Amino acid sequence: LFGNLKGFFKTDFTVIDNNVFRLHYKATVCVLIAFSILVTGRQYIGDPIDCISKDSVPMNLLDTFCWIHTTFSLTDAWHKKVGVQVPYPGVDKYTPGEKRVYHAYYQWVCFVLFLQAVLFYVPRYFWKAVEGGRIKNLILGLNNPILPEEAKENSRKLLVEYLSINLNNHNIFFYGYVTAEVMNFVNVVGQMFLMDMFLGGEFSSYGSKVLQFTEWDWSVRYDPMIKVF
């Protein structure tokens, strides 16, 4: 496992992409995997949820029940005064027929984070499969410090001659790389829609709600982040 991680982080002397491309499949993937592991540890090893009860129900049993059956907030309780009318934004005594908004996403956060990491790596996997190590084979020996300069110069001449003779014969690699970059773009845009669907449509409107938050009356306003998360 650690050997694979070492190979993932090692510096490639043969560069077949650009810095932005590497941000997609290295930096972003590492961050998502790290958070997925942290959330997984919290959910399945630690204490994922804490429920409050005034009865004699064992806390571990109550926490398990809350975790399995998800939680919900009341739409009418979001704009009530905290500490006076409600104990927390969106939390109030439920009456039959009142509109409820369920929050079930937190059970799947670790899996979605891992899925996002996989999706960010797919374009890299595709491009490596298309390229097949050909660039590395073409420049083999040119970055070898042991090889004498005369041998390197001969290799460079052969490489230039090969590229000149085979001009426009390797367009498949151009199309493959462009396709991989398009996949990166589609992935980023698609993940925005994925997050919006995962969070029940709150992701796309979160920015505008944050701007509106500053204009609300302080006594009844609530942080939009509390509503989403």
Measured CA to CA, the distance from residue 36 to residue 113 in angstroms comes to 5
φ/ψ (deg, to 5) at 211? -65, -40
pLDDT for position 95: 81
Global confidence as pTM: 0.77
Measured CA to CA, the distance from residue 122 to residue 24 in angstroms comes to 10
Given a contact cutoff of 8 angstroms between Cβ atoms, the answer to whether 187 and 120 are in contact is: yes
Across 42-63, b (16+ Cβ under 10 Å) vs e yields ebeeeebbeeeeeeeeeeeebb
DSSP bridge pairs for 74: 100
pLDDT for position 112: 93
* Residue labelled with tokens 């992935």: 187
Measured CA to CA, the distance from residue 210 to residue 186 in angstroms comes to 27
Given a contact cutoff of 8 angstroms between Cβ atoms, the answer to whether 192 and 203 are in contact is: yes
Task: Walk along the chain (229 residues) and give the pLDDT tens digit of each residue.
Answer: 555 555 555 666 678 899 999 999 999 999 999 999 988 887 777 777 777 776 777 877 777 777 777 778 887 777 777 777 887 777 888 888 888 888 778 788 889 999 999 999 999 999 999 988 888 877 776 767 677 777 777 778 888 888 788 888 888 989 999 999 999 999 999 999 999 888 887 778 777 777 777 776 665 566 677 777 6
pLDDT for position 139: 76
DSSP bridge pairs for 66: none
pLDDT for position 192: 93
- Domain ranges in the chain? 17-132+168-228
pLDDT for position 69: 76
- C-alpha pair distances (Å), 54 with each of 58, 59, 92: 11, 10, 15
Give the Cα-Cα-Cα angle 151, 157, 158 (nearest 5 degrees): 90
- C-alpha pair distances (Å), 134 with each of 106, 127, 130, 196: 44, 12, 9, 40
